[in-house]
């Protein structure tokens, strides 16, 4: 790509988080006085044409005007041509299939940003690992140089934190974390999304940031169940605190850093997702407690609660690395109908007594 061209950022996925993040990037460009090109891609031509005409994503954010400097398209080849930074706002379980289509169209030095929070069913891979695997496979297929193939990991970043899209779209202040193998790459991504209401921090703990972002969805499902059974704040605070403990155990076992778990991608994201009725996973847990079956949630929710599919994968990963995750296991038991929501509290409180200091051992 020619360095003389303005920076081009493409967000793939015009759902709630993809749309909100595209707005952040467009607003950040305006605030910086930059001529950066910002493009939002969605797979439905009619929907994207409507957005281009009205500048409103009616299904997700009715009445909210999107920035004048944000472009819309359903042509992925056109969107990715010349793109320096590609943001993947695609559900975790659809990421591999979609990226296999996108990979041949990517610029060879494009930086990729993952917004998805989950583990891939079947492989148990984190989203950054899925991205690296697909991109490396594409490069092998075209017989790219070995250094190009090995360098893919340095171009993959993840963004996570307390990021409820419905708050961000109306410019309520929030913070986030961008993680990459090097601070230079993380800072490059942070620079394109630093808006007046959105502050990105950086680190190099991709594992910790991803584990924090995906396990909190499972814990939020449990807190939602507490909400649905009309348990009080003591119950919910207990689940959140012990949930952070088991998230920390898993992150450390996989190579993540302790300080990440006490930061925005750990505690921050956990608090927001577990506490807010805007959280789709919190909502799913409440609906389960109110009697909706797991396989019927899609009939009463317009958005996907990633934890329904990722909870069993998280539990499997924890068993593989011999990490105790009792809340996650209990949630999986509810989803599998092994126990009822009513049996959830006794299952957790009836465990053997232990020291609280064992939470990271």
C-beta separation of 134 from 123 below 8 A: no
Element containing residue 175 per DSSP (H, E): strand 174-179
Output the DSSP codes for 305-334. Answer: -THHHHHHHHHHHHHHTT---HHHHHHHHH
Which residue of the set 216, 229, 236, 309 is catalytic?
216
d(CA 318, CA 328): 9
State the CB neighbour count (10 A cutoff) for residue 243.
24
Q: How far from each other are the two terminal CA atoms of the chain, in whole angstroms?
A: 48
94: left (phi over 0), alpha (psi -120 to 50) or beta: alpha
> What are the tokens at 86?
């590609």
DSSP code of 290? T
In which residue are the tokens 């929501």 written? 341
> What are the tokens at 344?
């959830």
DSSP code of 27? H
> What are the tokens at 161?
């934190």
Give the chain's length.
361
DSSP code of 145? -
* 216 classed as catalytic: yes
Q: For residue 325, which of 316, 334, 338, 336 has the smallest C-alpha distance?
A: 316
**Catalytic site residues?**
216
């Amino acid at each position: 790509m020619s360095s003389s061209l303005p920076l081009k950022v493409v967000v793939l996925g015009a759902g709630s988080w993809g749309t909100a993040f595209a707005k952040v990037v467009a607003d950040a460009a305006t605030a910086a006085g930059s001529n950066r090109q910002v493009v939002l891609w969605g797979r439905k031509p009619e929907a994207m044409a409507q957005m281009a005409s009205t500048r409103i994503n009616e299904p997700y954010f009715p009445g909210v005007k999107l920035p004048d400097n944000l472009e819309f398209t359903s042509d992925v080849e056109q969107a990715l041509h010349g793109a320096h930074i590609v943001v993947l706002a695609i559900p975790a379980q659809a990421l591999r299939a979609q990226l296999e289509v996108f990979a041949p169209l990517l610029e060879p030095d494009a930086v990729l940003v993952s917004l998805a929070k989950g583990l891939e069913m079947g492989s148990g891979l984190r989203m950054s690992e899925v991205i690296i695997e697909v991109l490396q496979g594409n490069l092998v297929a075209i017989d790219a140089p070995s250094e190009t193939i090995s360098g893919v990991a340095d171009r993959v970043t993840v963004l996570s934190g307390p990021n409820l899209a419905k708050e961000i779209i109306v410019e309520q202040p929030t913070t986030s974390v961008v993680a990459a193998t090097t601070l230079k790459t993380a800072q490059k991504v942070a620079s394109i999304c630093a808006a007046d209401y959105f502050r990105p921090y950086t680190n190099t703990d991709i594992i910790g940031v991803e584990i924090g972002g995906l396990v909190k969805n499972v814990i939020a499902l449990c807190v939602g169940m507490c909400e649905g059974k009309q348990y009080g704040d003591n119950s919910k605070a207990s689940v959140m605190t012990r949930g952070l403990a088991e998230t920390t155990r898993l992150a450390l076992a996989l190579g993540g850093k302790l300080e990440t778990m006490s930061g925005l991608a750990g505690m921050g994201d956990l608090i927001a997702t577990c506490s807010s009725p805007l959280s789709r996973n919190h909502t799913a847990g409440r609906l389960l407690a109110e009697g909706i079956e797991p396989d019927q949630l899609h009939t009463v929710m317009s958005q996907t609660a990633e934890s329904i599919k990722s909870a069993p994968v998280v539990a499997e990963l924890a068993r593989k690395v011999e990490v105790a995750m009792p809340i996650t296991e209990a949630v999986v038991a509810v989803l599998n109908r092994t126990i009822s929501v009513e049996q959830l509290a006794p299952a957790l409180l009836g465990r053997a007594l232990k020291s609280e200091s064992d939470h990271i051992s």
